[in-house]
């Protein structure tokens, strides 16, 4: 985790963009607002906005929001298979929780809810039929190659939604790294062919959910409405069509989500159901950003609490997942998005920062309803053991926490590759050891590997813009175990250091009609060579499952050379050998006999060069070969 994710410029004082604070009966600290008068709320709102019959969990919690609703009595007109299990008042007079049970015999239709007493109103709540396509939510496997992008910075497909009346940022300014630039869902969809040409099989946009913050709202990690696509990206219906169109084109969709915090302009923060829906301290308190507090056998309760309950940033209120009502609200929301769209996976932002008990409950509920759905979390930790702690692992429970998350982003492998390549004769042992630690996981092959992302300096800059080192890094990314992920523009050598983060979140060339260069249509020079290298290797990987489903055997690095093999029981074997020094290396290939016996030669899959002698290998300086062995 890069801490904290940049929302405000460092020089901006605390509360600089906070809405006005109104008096409350129970004043909160760690808060930047209590009321917002810039937008009129709907007269009645119920979350979830609709639901389905036939869900495995028959219980449904409705959060009703309307002025003075807490004094009302809820009733339900007779509806076969649906029972009203009571209601619950909250601290705010503007909320009421209504609990329903939806039995297996219930049919789609409209539930007639009536609220009488202190507040009189009627509401028709929709129950829908579930989608019955068993292949709609596909999940991810090692055979996938994920393309990660920032929607606002990728491509502007619909200029009509650049400015949306009523939003707090209602203009675009492409010359500002903190402003909106105009990219949207349509812009992503317009370039499905580009993803496929590259060899990608899945798309991971950073959060598309509404982020109606007054500053730096483009990145999406300060959600303001859990049930709404940001209107500057499109509509809920357009997102549903986007997922459907991606599936029709052979592409999967990963949705980026945030469990730990919301934005300070979230409608449930501006008008809180109760004070205990968010963590609060006597004075503003950040997280200590140290996940070690969760499993330190000698740790203090204070450090544990600060890590879990402290705010991630000044305008990112920490959601109290220990409140059962909040936990249910979150669980239902993320079930709602899967059923509404058919998306294929969730990437969970700031995964370690959420309440550990909630994480286990949330993970179990999601997996039970959608067993095929891919789940992988961001756990940017400093050691292999600490990273493995947040995925399904062989470790005993610690402080009552035993992760049920299938996978994490594999930052340990990422850090190792970057460190190896950024210095002359980098320590290959670091990469070897990162993989050796896979014994900690139930299944490390489910982890998602990468070279960079939106929070990190771009790989091409980190390695000194050395093209040979770039090819080595991509060769490792696309041939090691796990599901590889590439950050938008890496394939065309976009560069910069994350100081500040906006410098690694620049617009993709060609995403706007006025762009001088259009890398979607044509790529020249080193950018073209880089794209061709990634494309050729990624597409080879698609047609040769041995690189995704095959076993991995690595040999201890020697003399600046690292060698490993991907192989299967069908007799296929690919050798990956990389010389990370500035001199050609003569490698004794007999050392690899347990994998090369029975093979006499090989073809380097990108260049097409023949490797005629597997027992004596002459590997050029700063070169990686991906060699398909031949008998």
Residues noted as catalytic: 349, 378
Do the beta carbons of residue 252 and residue 144 sit within 8 Å?
yes
d(CA 433, CA 419): 13
For residue 75, the SS3 value is strand
Contacts made by residues 34-41, CB under 8 angstroms, sequence distance 24+:
34/270, 34/272, 35/270, 35/271, 36/265, 36/270, 38/168, 39/166, 41/65, 41/267, 41/271
Task: Annotate 322-353 with b (16+ C-beta within 10 A) or e (fewer).
Answer: ebebbbbbbbbbbbbbbbbbbbbbbbbbbbbb
Widest Cα–Cα separation across the chain:
88
| Three-class DSSP category at 535 | helix
Place of tokens 């590259």: 198
3-state secondary structure of 546: helix
Classify strands 483-487 and 448-450 as parallel, antiparallel or unpaired.
Answer: parallel
Give the pair of three-digit tokens for residue 216.
Answer: 């730096």
Other C-beta atoms closer than 10 Å to the C-beta of 464 total 12
Query: In sequence order, which ranges of 264-351 are alpha helices (DSSP H)?
Result: 267-270, 292-295, 301-309, 324-341
Q: Hey, what are 412's tokens?
A: 């340990």
Q: Is 219 exposed, middle or buried (0-12, 13-18, 19+ CB in 10 A)?
A: buried
Pairing state between β 407-408 and 374-377: parallel
307 half-sphere exposure, CB direction, 13 A CA radius: 22
Across 397-420, b (16+ Cβ under 10 Å) vs e yields eeeebebbbbbbbbbbbbbbbbeb
- Residues 619 and 625: beta-carbon distance below 8 Å: yes
Radius of gyration of the chain (CA): 26
Whether the CB-CB separation of 234 and 184 falls below 8 Å is answered with yes
Beta strands in 169-282 (DSSP E): 202-205, 209-210, 225-229, 252-258
Q: Would you state the structure tokens that stand for residue 403, as one six-digit string?
A: 């992760």
Rounded alpha-carbon distances, angstroms, from residue 533 to 181, 481, 606? 30, 19, 7
Tokens of 357: 């008990």
Partners of 409 in the beta sheet?
Answer: 448
The helix (H) or strand (E) run that includes residue 193 is helix 192-198
Contact 488, 147 (CB under 8 A): yes
> Residues of 119-148 as b/e, b for ≥16 C-beta within 10 angstroms?
beeebebebeeeeeeeebbbbbebebbbbb
């Amino acid at each position: 985790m890069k801490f904290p994710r940049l929302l405000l410029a460092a020089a901006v004082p605390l509360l600089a963009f906070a809405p006005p604070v109104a008096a409350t009966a129970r004043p909160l600290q760690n808060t930047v607002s209590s009321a917002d008068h810039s937008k009129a709320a709907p007269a009645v709102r119920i979350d979830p906005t609709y639901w389905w019959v036939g869900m495995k969990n028959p219980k449904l919690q409705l959060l009703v929001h309307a002025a003075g609703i807490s004094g009302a009595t809820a009733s339900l007109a007779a509806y076969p298979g649906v029972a009203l299990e009571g209601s619950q008042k909250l601290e705010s007079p503007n909320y009421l929780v209504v609990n329903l049970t939806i039995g297996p015999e219930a049919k789609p239709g409209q539930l007639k809810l009536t609220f009488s007493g202190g507040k009189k109103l009627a509401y028709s709540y929709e129950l829908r039929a579930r989608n019955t396509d068993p292949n709609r939510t596909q999940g991810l496997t090692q055979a996938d190659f994920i393309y990660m992008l920032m929607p606002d910075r990728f491509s502007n497909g619909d200029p009509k939604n650049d400015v949306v009346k009523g939003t707090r940022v209602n203009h675009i300014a492409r010359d500002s790294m903190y402003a909106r630039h105009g990219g949207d869902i349509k812009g992503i969809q317009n370039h499905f062919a580009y993803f496929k040409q590259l060899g990608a099989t899945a798309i991971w946009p950073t959060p598309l959910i509404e982020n109606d913050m007054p500053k730096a709202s483009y990145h999406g990690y300060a959600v303001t409405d859990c049930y709404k696509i940001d209107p500057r990206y499109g509509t809920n219906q357009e997102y549903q069509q986007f997922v459907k169109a991606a599936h029709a084109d052979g592409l999967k969709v990963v949705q980026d989500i945030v469990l730990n915090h919301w934005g300070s302009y979230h409608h449930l923060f501006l008008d809180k159901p109760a004070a205990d829906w968010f963590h609060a301290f006597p004075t503003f308190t950040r997280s200590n950003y140290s996940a070690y507090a969760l499993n330190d056998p000698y740790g203090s309760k204070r450090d544990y609490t600060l890590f879990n309950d402290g705010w991630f940033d000044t305008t990112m209120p920490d959601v109290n997942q220990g409140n059962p009502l909040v936990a249910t609200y979150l669980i239902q929301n993320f079930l709602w998005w899967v059923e509404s769209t058919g998306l294929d996976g969730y990437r969970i932002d700031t995964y370690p920062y959420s309440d550990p008990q909630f994480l286990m409950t949330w993970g179990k509920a999601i997996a039970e309803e959608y067993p095929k759905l891919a789940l992988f979390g961001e756990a940017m930790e400093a050691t292999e053991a600490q990273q493995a702690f947040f995925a399904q692992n062989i470790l005993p429970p610690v402080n009552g926490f035993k992760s049920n998350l299938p996978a994490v982003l594999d930052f340990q492998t990422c850090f190792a590759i970057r460190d190896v390549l950024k210095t002359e004769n980098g320590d290959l042992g670091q990469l070897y050891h990162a993989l050796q630690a896979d014994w900690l996981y139930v299944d490390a092959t489910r982890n998602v590997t990468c070279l960079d992302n939106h929070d990190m300096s771009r790989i091409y800059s980190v390695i000194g813009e050395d093209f040979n080192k770039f090819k080595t890094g991509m060769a490792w990314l696309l041939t090691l175990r796990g599901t590889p992920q590439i950050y938008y523009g890496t394939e065309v050598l976009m560069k910069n250091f994350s100081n500040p983060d906006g410098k690694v979140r620049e617009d993709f060339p060609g995403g706007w009609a006025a762009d001088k260069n259009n890398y979607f249509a044509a790529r020249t020079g080193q950018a073209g060579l880089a794209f061709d290298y990634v494309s050729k290797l990624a597409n080879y990987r698609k047609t040769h499952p041995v690189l995704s489903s095959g076993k991995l055997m690595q040999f201890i690095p020697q003399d600046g050379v690292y060698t490993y093999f991907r192989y299967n029981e069908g007799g296929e074997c690919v050798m990956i050998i990389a010389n990370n020094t500035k001199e050609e290396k003569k490698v004794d290939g007999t050392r690899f006999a347990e994998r090369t016996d029975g093979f006499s030669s090989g073809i380097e899959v990108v260049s097409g060069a023949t490797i005629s002698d597997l027992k004596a290998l002459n590997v050029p300086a700063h070169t990686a070969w991906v060699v398909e062995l031949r008998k």
